[in-house]
């Protein structure tokens, strides 16, 4: 299946935006670790902005950057959201509350605990009534989201945006499911090449034995293995170089996902 990437959003440790991060991804500049800085979303009304948790802010930030660079109307574009953990802090708080005799869960916390919370906030922020899918696939969430987008594009012949994001759980959940940082990526993809197309991407399912693509920089590789959404980093590094290449992403048991990129510019 083929699609065309027209916009990219990126936010992670030491990676503050797609354009700002390209030099580190290509190795032309040294990668410098730093805390992920997640801005409050200017897209949300004040009340929703106060209720939104960090994962929602992360998803909206990378989504906004991708759409701004693509020049697409977010309100008229279908979306796929992929996250392994959704809001780990909210899950922790709910577990604490349910362990008390009262077991009174805050309505706001419950609302933010559902897996499609980011998609709901996105529809409010962009006023979109287009279809939206929220999925989870453990460490293969980015690959699953990418495949879902490509499938929708092949079937519907309409643009689709992928927004993948993950962040850490507090202890004691972190000891069982360690995620080392906040990381988000967004891709706006279209069915046909246009003047805005950055690269073509061809996706193909492969055998599980294919070697997963890794990163030469130890700092970036630590992010990749420590955050499910950051499994996208080898693909981003290839896109940043602006050359043709192939990336293998770990997928479900018994399969891998092979992505071939061909620059359009």
Q: What is the pLDDT of residue 12?
A: 97
Q: What is the pLDDT of residue 210?
A: 84
pLDDT (tens digit per residue) in 226-249: 999 999 999 999 999 999 999 999
What is the residue-averaged pLDDT of the chain? Answer: 93
pTM of the model: 0.94
Overall CATH class of domain 2-196: alpha beta
| Confidence category of residue 102, pLDDT binned at 50, 70, 90 | confident
3-class SS string, the chain: CEEEEEEEEEEECCEECHHHHHHHHHCCCCCCCCCCCCCCCCCCCHHHHHHCCHHHHHHHHHHHHHHHHHCCCHHHCEEEEECCCCCHHHHHHHHHHHCCCCCCCCHHHHHHHCCCHHHHHHHHHHCCCCCEEEECCHHHHHHHHHHHHHHHHHHHCCCEEEEEEECCCCCCHHHHCCCCCCEEEEEEEECCCCCCCCEEEEEEEECCCCCCCCCCCHHHHHHHHHCHHHHHHHHHHHHHHCCCEEEEEECCCCCEEEEEEEECC
Domain ranges of the chain: 2-196
């Amino acid at each position: 299946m083929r699609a065309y990437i027209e916009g990219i959003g990126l936010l992670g440790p030491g990676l503050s935006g797609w354009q700002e991060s390209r030099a580190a991804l290509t190795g032309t500049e040294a990668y410098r670790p730093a805390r992920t800085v997640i801005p409050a979303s200017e897209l949300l009304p004040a009340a929703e902005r106060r209720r939104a948790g960090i994962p929602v802010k992360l998803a909206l930030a990378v989504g906004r950057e991708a759409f701004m660079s693509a020049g697409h109307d977010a309100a008229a574009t279908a979306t796929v959201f992929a996250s392994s953990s959704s809001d780990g802090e909210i899950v922790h708080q709910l577990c604490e509350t349910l362990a008390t005799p009262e077991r009174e869960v805050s309505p706001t916390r419950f609302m933010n605990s559902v897996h499609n919370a980011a998609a709901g906030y996105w529809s409010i922020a962009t006023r979109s009534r287009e279809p939206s899918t929220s999925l989870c696939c453990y460490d293969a969430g980015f690959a699953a989201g990418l495949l879902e987008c490509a499938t929708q594009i092949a079937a519907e012949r309409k643009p689709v945006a992928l927004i993948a994001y993950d962040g850490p759980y507090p202890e004691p959940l972190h000891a069982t499911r360690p995620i080392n940082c906040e990381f988000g990526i967004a891709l706006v993809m279209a069915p046909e090449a246009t003047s805005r197309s950055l690269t073509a991407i061809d996706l193909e399912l492969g055998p599980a034995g294919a070697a997963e693509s890794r990163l030469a920089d130890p700092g970036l590789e630590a992010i990749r293995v420590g955050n499910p959404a950051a499994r996208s980093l080898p693909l981003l590094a290839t896109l940043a170089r602006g050359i043709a290449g192939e990336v293998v992403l770990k997928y479900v048991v018994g399969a891998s996902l092979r992505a071939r990129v061909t620059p359009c510019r």
